[in-house]
Amino acid sequence: MSSTNAPTLLDGVRRIMRLKHYSPRTYCDWIKQVVKFHRMSEKKELFEDSEAKIEAFLSYLATERNVGSDARSGDEYTGVFVKCSF
């Protein structure tokens, strides 16, 4: 059973983003969208087959939502960041 005071994934992202002087909101928003798209309910799901999940999300953005490549490259970086940082 996890403690309610345990830091969340997004808390960790915010902390690291601040240390690197990046915008935590941008990265947290992308992570929230990926989690919602894949209907993830646990933190560990983000790391299981993460490359395929991010690729599927990017394909969805390109084909269904017509999001440009500039925005999608931000999501690619977010996926790499999360995978390497936690």
**Higher confidence at residue 6 or residue 73?**
6
Note the pLDDT tens digit of each residue in 38-63: 998 888 888 888 888 888 988 888 88
CATH superfamily name and code, 9-85: Tyrosine recombinase, N-terminal domain (1.10.150.130)
Percent share of the chain, pLDDT over 90: 3
CA distance 57 to 38: 8
Domain locations in the chain as residue ranges: 9-85
Positive or negative CA dihedral for 4, 7, 9, 13?
positive
Single pTM value for the model? 0.63
pLDDT at residue number 45: 86
Average pLDDT over the chain, rounded to whole?
76
Instruction: Please give the structure tokens belonging to residue 83.
Output: 């995978």
**Higher confidence at residue 19 or residue 26?**
19
